[in-house]
Amino acid sequence: MTPLVSRVVVAAVGLPAVLALVYAGGWWLFALAAIAAVLALHEYALMTRALRPVTLAAYAGALLSLLGVELGGLQWMVAGFLTTLVLAFILHWIGQTRQSATVAIAATVLGAGWIGLCLGHLLLLRDIPDKGRLATFAVLLAVWAGDIGAFFAGRLIGRHKLAPRLSPGKTWEGFVFGTIATVFVAFVTLYRQHYISIGDSILLGLVIAVAGPLGDLFESGVKRDMQVKDSGRLLGGHGGVLDRLDAPLFAFVAAYYLLRALDAA
């Protein structure tokens, strides 16, 4: 099976399942986020094993962040995340590893924050009163549209490298077409459903179009720093779970706070 066919098969199976759980919301979406967090943190721990992250503390901090969102919202999410610092220090102290405490704890907190807090914003988006389901669908569909547009445009007409040191395969042409696709989907999904204005829907599309690729480049930077090609192989041609979450993670955060700034959350 070629990588492209593998990507199509995984998407055809996975995307409807994700959208169904987003539609259901509540503890169903929490379960999806929790499973995704554990799988992504496992991949992150394997990538950064040279830094000796305190993996159990990262798992606990990420899951407590998600549990905090589900039970009490933004404030409790932050409280759950902050437990990572304490647990990482205690477990590193007990374990007596040779790695520097500063490096090991920092790597642990990065994983819990990057994955746990950002996935927590998926739950915050879904919990927006009345329009949470629509807002979450819009962000996910916009990110996926941008990813597809950038992928095919980059392959067909891509000539100018976007960030050759971090991700040699990404091009400015792909970024432009991905941005157009992202803005179009955000506009159609949100304005046409009478959620936010034309200008606000375009602005949100632009924000997602920037945040998504930045998330992708962020993960590429971590992988390059750790000298790893893919975070895993669980999703076939898509790579690992973290390879699929990199763009949405940043997009969830950016979209949520923009909607709050627009008084739409």
**What pLDDT, in 10s, does the model give residues 7-39?**
677 677 778 899 999 999 999 999 999 999 999
Confidence of residue 249 (pLDDT cuts 50, 70, 90): very high
> Which amino acid does the sequence have at 105?
I
pLDDT for position 264? 85
Furthest CA-CA distance within the chain: 57
171 SS3 class: strand
Q: Give, for 163, the enclosing helix (H) or strand (E).
A: strand 161-163
Record the pTM.
0.92
Tell me the average pLDDT across 122-148.
95
Q: What percent of the chain has pLDDT over 70?
A: 94
pLDDT of residue 229 exceeding 80, the answer is no
Which 8-state DSSP code applies to residue 236?
A: G
Alpha-carbon span 91 to 131, nearest angstrom: 41
